[in-house]
Structure 1
């Protein structure tokens, strides 16, 4: 461990022992945001020592709020610098996740094409301003209770493991969006089953029009509604979620409409390691958007920052030029398509608490410093064996000035199957022009939709 990381890790250990009182940073620390050292959201502004990670170069907004697939003409035609394979992975091992190491070791056909790194991810000025205010006011009372946070990233200079995860959960993504979500369960021979969803989301916390603060007493930060449209056996299923800070009755509220029952009902099982409807157990509810929901079952540790090869700027795999039959291959994605770049990431470890349970005993998260976006997760079972690997292909949306993951992949190492989600290559891209009526995300409204 280098001296810098050692000092950082030591400071983090002290902060973890002293509890939530140290979650806020001093005014002096906050002044670093947007200066020569840190970007306005807390990433290191400058390049790394050898220049393989460049200085932050914030993009300019372009494109309309609907009809835009991820694209960047400046980089989409670039050629790989080199390719990591089973034969040469040892020389890159310190910059690889355990999931990538497993895939490289297991499948001779697996490879990682590494491209020049680019740091264009940026955010609206309103997010910059609110983030600086949050740095000195927002605090973490417990892993599920941020307090005094509004609009921007709550914890741009994180001190505890839960804080980067909250930055991911509540980041700016627009006021409201509709997206097609095509999902595939891929068998070891490459055959796949396609499921199509339409998802509507209203953002509350990161909203310019009507921001809802996160406080110890309240904080509903988004509303979500999904409708399954295919295949026929699943069509007509609705899932409604009011996502809140907190746990239990104070936290998430969820409802499920099943065509078989013909009524909407409360669904407390829409959480944690319960399988998402229609995924045949290949995706848990808390794996949607890489991670969502309550943090209460785990102890969260901020390990530090590290340079890693992560999926980044993979516009080709997220756009209409790539059909699903080309994307899908036996055992893993068509690895000619993804783009990997060297970036600095925050490493967060979550270990199961005594007295609680989850299929994953331990998870290690790799969170991009520029986008506060989870790009990879190593997930371990109760025998401490690597059980699954989640890979989110990070793309930057120039029309919204936000980062997201398209597609997301979950590799199941015990079965040889993998699950693809968050794709819309063969449908319409995200529409951020939508406006929903105040009563749209209610059980009564969903019940009416089912009778049309």
Structure 2
């Protein structure tokens, strides 16, 4: 059970899932006392969380294609949290983060002034307002109707609506990017470099609900290092309702020059090339069908979470300076006090998953999941996920620059998104859905 610790419990938290859209008078709050995406515009009473005033202003010298310069580089560190003073701040931390600090006395959190940097294009704000009075859950919450482009449920009434807000929050229309993932076992890390492409459907400019055709996105990657895996490739076609139509994925192996359909790449099936450390549904902190869990909206809470992680994003930082033996390098991480939605996901009777229970901490300003506590089938706390986000200036949107999954009992962990020594994301890449098929994957391997 979640401790009170300043949670704002909402009457809407116990509302059913049948009626998701809100009254037009409620929707009029968007852009007024609520931000255009549904957060509280005002700061908190203590003054430690400021008012949202539109999001970040990019530094004057920023140009598209740059690793995004830190707009808050001059901020002074307020304080540090570590094992010695953990009790003073435990009420503001995810349980997994408290556990990590206790297990590693040399690890610490650097806490900085809160900067409400989240922003989206105006068309996403406009779509969100339309969605608020039209969007509904369907198929027992496994899909949605009446929404496109924007946040479907900016004034949420249930936990599953908050999760859909995360799944569907704007990430650009398309993206070509090169990143590295690190598998860290017994203190030793191994990097895999991937050339990746995503073509988003839900959030595309001009998209309407009747055009969606149950398609969320298309995804492809090609491994370019190390040499033993080079040329391995994967294509994924992601539906919106993954119970109605399952995710389709194909993998190309250069060893036998064959493309094969993967029987499953969802739920707790293991991601390829992660040494068993990452399940399929931890990509982007959580993705895929929500049907195996009961979702509970516990309320909103002021917490210390990763935010404005520009320092770890900067160009040229060696990866071995970021990825250390047991954790990421705390000198490169930034934490701030933000209001987050707290959501519990509990495995339904008869369903199977390695994680019996998950607690999500979702940013009110962007709907990005910032942290997750993971419990195994016996209920023991075994994992912590963190998303270290920035606001990408040229889109604009909030997304992780680095994601981690710590296995608390073993000390092993998984990192994705390392791009400090790669070209910056290309949000204007010329991509087409035709490039994301088994046939295209077969052609690319020949």
- How much has 1:12 moved relative to structure 2? 1.3
1:242 aligns with 2:218: no
TM-score of the superposed pair, with normalisation by structure 1: 0.93
TM-score, normalising length from structure 2? 0.94
Relative distance call for 1:105 and 1:214 in structure 2 (3 A) is farther
Among 158, 161, 173, the residue aligned to 2:159: 161
Q: CA deviation digits over 1:365-391, x for unaligned, max 9?
A: 001011110110100001111111101
* Runs of 4+ more than 6 Å apart: none
In the aligned structure 1, how far is the partner of 2:217 from the partner of 2:169?
Answer: 11
Equivalent residue for 1:292, pick from 271, 277, 287: 287
The residue aligned with 1:402 is 397
Q: How does 1:202-281 map to 2 (within 5 A)?
A: 202-209=199-206, 211=207, 213=209, 218-248=213-243, 250-281=245-276
Aligned equivalents of 2:169 and 2:432: distance in 1?
Answer: 23
Match of 1:143 among 132, 141, 150: 141
Write out per-residue CA displacement over residues 286-345 of structure 1, whole angstroms, 9 at most, x where no aligned residue. 111111111111111111110010011111111214221211222111111100000000
* Contact 1:68 1:399 (C-alpha < 8 Å) held by counterparts: no
Displacement of 1:268 in angstroms is 3.1
Q: 2:150: which partner in 1?
A: 152
**Is 1:88 matched with 2:85?**
yes
Q: Is the 8 A contact 2:5 2:91 kept in 1?
A: no
Matched, 1:326 2:321: yes
CA-CA distance at 1:140 after TM superposition: 0.8
Alignment counterpart, residue 99 of structure 2, candidates 98, 102, 106: 102
Cα distance change of structure 1 residues 137 and 79 upon mapping to structure 2, 3 Å threshold: same
**Corresponding residue of 1:364:** 359
Q: How does 1:23-34 map to 2 (within 5 A)?
A: 23-34=20-31
Give the 3-state SS of the residue equivalent to 1:169 in structure 2: helix
Shift of 1:3: 9.3
Whether 1:192 and 2:194 are equivalent positions in the alignment is no
* Inter-partner Cα distance in structure 2 for 1:171 and 1:266: 29
Aligned partner of residue 162 in structure 1, secondary structure: helix
Q: Is the 8 A contact 1:64 1:399 kept in 2?
A: no
User: Is the CA contact (8 Å cut-off) linking 2:142 and 2:243 kept in structure 1?
Assistant: no
Change in CA separation of 1:187 and 1:438 when aligned onto 2, cut-off 3 Å: closer
CA contact (8 A) 1:137 1:148 kept: yes
CA drift at 1:187: 3.0
Q: Is residue 336 from structure 1 mapped to residue 339 from structure 2 by the alignment?
A: no
Summarize the Cα distance change of 1:428–1:3 in structure 2 as closer, same or farther, 3 Å threshold: closer
Shift of 1:241: 1.1
Compute the RMSD of aligned alpha carbons.
1.9
Change (3 A) 1:444 1:24: same
Give the structure 1 partner of residue 54 of structure 2.
58
Q: For the residues of structure 1 that align with 2:6 and 2:113, how far apart are their CA atoms?
A: 27
In the other structure, the counterpart of 1:115 is 112
Do structure 1's residue 418 and structure 2's residue 421 form an aligned pair? no
Corresponding residue for 1:183? 181
Does the CA-based 8 Å contact 1:389-1:410 persist in structure 2? yes
Q: Which runs of 5+ in 2 are unaligned?
A: none
Bigger shift: residues 273-282 or 43-52: 273-282
Shift in CA distance, 435/61, structure 1 to aligned 2, threshold 3 Å: farther
Q: CA deviation at 1:160?
A: 1.2
Distance 1:172 1:2 in 2: 31
Deviation at 1:249, TM superposition (A): 5.6
Q: Distance in 2 between matches of 1:139 and 1:214?
A: 14
Distance 1:158 1:56, change over 3 A: same
**d(CA) in 2 for partners of 1:3, 1:331:** 31
Other-structure match for 2:12: 11
- 1:439 match: secondary structure: helix
Distance of aligned partners of 1:121 and 1:107 in 2 relative to their CA distance in 1, 3 Å threshold: same
